[in-house]
Amino acid sequence: MLVIHGDNLVDSRKFLYAQINQARAKGKEIIRLDGKKISLEQLQQAVEGPSLLSKEKLVVIENFLKHASPQNLVYLAKVDTKNLILWEETVSQAKLKKLKAQEKFFKLPPVLFHFLDSFLPNNRRASLRFLKQAVNQSSVETVFYQLARQVRYLIIANQLGKSGLSDLHPYQQTKIAAQAKKFDLAQLLTFHRKLLYIDWQQKTGQAVMDLAGQLDLLVASL
């Protein structure tokens, strides 16, 4: 069993897809399940049941541990299998320690958080400096994803304050709510539209420069 987790979701997803592609190239059947909804019977069938195609299989379950019932956790703690991958956005170490699993952890570099904190009106010089460092220490796709996520949170906090950020740690709620007060809503919505446009250009091949260059220009417009 392999558990893939960490706050660097872009790189952890890339690693997951690489594992799936490797298994598929070896002729394995890929079984993907939603960990939020899986029952004990479905879990047992996926892990222990024969492949419908009579060949080796790889079972991939996303966001299982966060939502796992006690029965499902007890079952997995007893299982020693190499054909199972759990991909988690977040996972408690207490649950992880109960499993006979290998662990692949993807962590965001601290400078990326400095960049997100520096995202403020009329602060482009500091933001650009941290942006370059963040791209060098992770990947431009990761930085883009985290910036888009931050802007969405800022829009919510701008309108609802901390009450709209209930899924975040209280410390993050306070920090993002304070950051959101530095913007007016129109600024945030305009920036969000620009992010969506960049994403569309990159995915459709319409961009005239690479993602790093587009991010530079976008942050320089702060």
Q: How far apart are CA 100 and CA 97, in angstroms?
A: 8
pTM: 0.77
Q: Where in the chain is the domain with CATH 3.40.50.300?
A: 2-105
Higher pLDDT, 72 or 133: 133
2-105: which CATH number, 3.40.640.10, 3.30.70.3420, 3.40.50.300, 2.40.70.10? 3.40.50.300
Structure tokens belonging to residue 56? 């080796």
> Is residue 215 within 8 Å of 143, Cβ to Cβ?
yes
Mean of all residue pLDDT scores within the chain: 91
What 3 state SS string does the chain have?
CEEEECCCHHHHHHHHHHHHHHHHHCCCEEEEEECCCCCHHHHHHHHHCCCCCCCCEEEEEECCCCCCCHHHHHHHHHCCCCCEEEECCCCCHHHHCCCCCEEEECCCCHHHHHHHHHCCCCCHHHHHHHHHHHHHHCCHHHHHHHHHHHHHHHHHHHHHHHHHHCCCCHHHHHHHHHHHCCCCHHHHHHHHHHHHHHHHHHHHCCCCCCHHHHHHHHHHCC
Q: In the chain, pLDDT over 90 holds for what percent of residues? A: 66
Average pLDDT value for residue range 110-125: 95
Higher pLDDT, 165 or 49: 165
pLDDT at residue 79 in the model: 81
pLDDT at residue 52 in the model: 67
Q: Which fold has domain 110-220?
A: Zinc Finger, Delta Prime; domain 3 (1.20.272)
Q: How far apart are CA 69 and CA 34, in angstroms?
A: 14
Higher pLDDT, 96 or 124: 124
Whether the predicted pLDDT of 56 surpasses 90 = no
pLDDT at residue 54 in the model: 60
pLDDT-derived band of residue 68, with 50, 70 and 90 as boundaries? Answer: confident
> Is residue 65 within 8 Å of 14, Cβ to Cβ?
no
pLDDT at residue 53 in the model: 66
Q: What is the pLDDT of residues 147-160, one digit of tens each?
A: 999 999 999 999 99
With b meaning 16 or more CB within 10 Å and e meaning fewer, what string describes 106-121? bebbebbbbbbbbbee
Q: What is the pLDDT of residues 17-47, one digit of tens each?
A: 999 999 999 999 999 998 888 888 888 888 8
Q: Where in the chain is the domain with CATH 1.20.272.10?
A: 110-220
Fill in the amino acid letter for 18: A
Average pLDDT value for residue range 89-110: 87
Average pLDDT value for residue range 179-184: 95
φ/ψ of 62, rounded to 5, equals: -105, 135
Q: What's the distance, CA 83 to chain centroid?
A: 23
